[in-house]
Structure 1
Amino acid sequence: MTGAAFDTAAALDRLHAEIQLAHDQGFAVLRVLLDLRWVNSSTAMLDAWREYETRVNGLFAAGDLIGCCVYDERNFTRRDWRLLHSAHTTTLRPDTDSAASRLRVRWNGEPPALRLHGETDLGNRAALHQLLAVTARACGPLTIDATGLQFVDVAALRELLGLAAARTAPTTILCRPLLARHLRLLGAAGIATLSVAVALPANSAPPA
């Protein structure tokens, strides 16, 4: 991130090539650990790096890439840390080992389906936006399994509705009853290609 300008597209292409190389060598998953404790709010091209961190989420959903970025929160202004934090699906606090935000995603290509598990809020909003933007390009009917979400803020609900509205093919959102109610209150019925279906997580039994 010093010297020549950071090229987000080229960096994503390189990472995609490394994933393919890992597959060619017989590995199912590429694991990447980045020590980024030297990055701070005064680092040149921080905006370009943050864009890369956001867009790389499109590669994680397939399940063949696992990444861990190690930052030092003390190196950033509050605004810069919030924006960088938002580009990651999950952020862990080193002092307590607890999650400031936690979202897991999994993409299945045939038939197209995206599974969401955990929490969606301000802490991972940029990551979720990128994941849904990539998902919206899927051809044919799409299923979003949101039954594993324990918390969803209004912005994330609007992102889900926006994905469905942007597609011409049918979209089905599987979710718990309360989430289904909130989606309908926000106008789900006005999206002709969207179906909201109440369901429980696959590993959950109906309440007694």
Structure 2
Amino acid sequence: MQVNQAKSQFVAVASIAAELSAVMEVAKEISLAAANAKAIAFRAGEKAKGFQPITDFINELAKDTIELVNNINEYAFHLYRLTVNEQRMTEACKRFEKVEQLAAGARYADSLTTSLQEVRLRTQLCHREFILQVSELLIKLADVMHPARAARVIAANSRIEASQAGEYLQSLQAVAESVDNAAQIINDKVHKCRSALTIINVAE
């Protein structure tokens, strides 16, 4: 593993962890918005009858997003461990190679060859697993985009239903705006995660 490559992997994994943390917070905000909307719709009664089932959809989307992000976090943590392991094994390879050079011509110098080959093989296997996990994570991140897109559609429908809620119009429209904004933030954060992973793939 080259120094620049190792650095890019660490930066990418750290970036993903930060972005996913932000997505989780936004998903929790959506869940809170759903609870607030449900309370407002209940008070509005018949005026917001069409809005009430929408709050359930919003809450389900928030739960789905949180579940997906929790799952993705496990992949991100695994990528971090793989990066650390690969870096350690790369350093071990360098030390073995240096010792092998210094021991050239010594009586038992050949005994180092097997150990060096084993460390090289383990490093290669670790890197292959890293690349495989990157591909899996890209797929998982694509899954998060589905609830984000659905949230934007629901936000649009929420505005329509809110327009019929009389004095509760502004309160319900605020909910719709918060869901729409949250969906956009999630979309942006996930896009940043995917970009970070794509850069690693291109660098391979």
Q: TM range, normalised to the smaller chain?
A: under 0.3
Give the TM-score of the pair, scaled to structure 2.
0.20
Larger Rg: 2
| Higher strand fraction (1 or 2) | 1
Give the TM-score of the pair, scaled to structure 1.
0.20
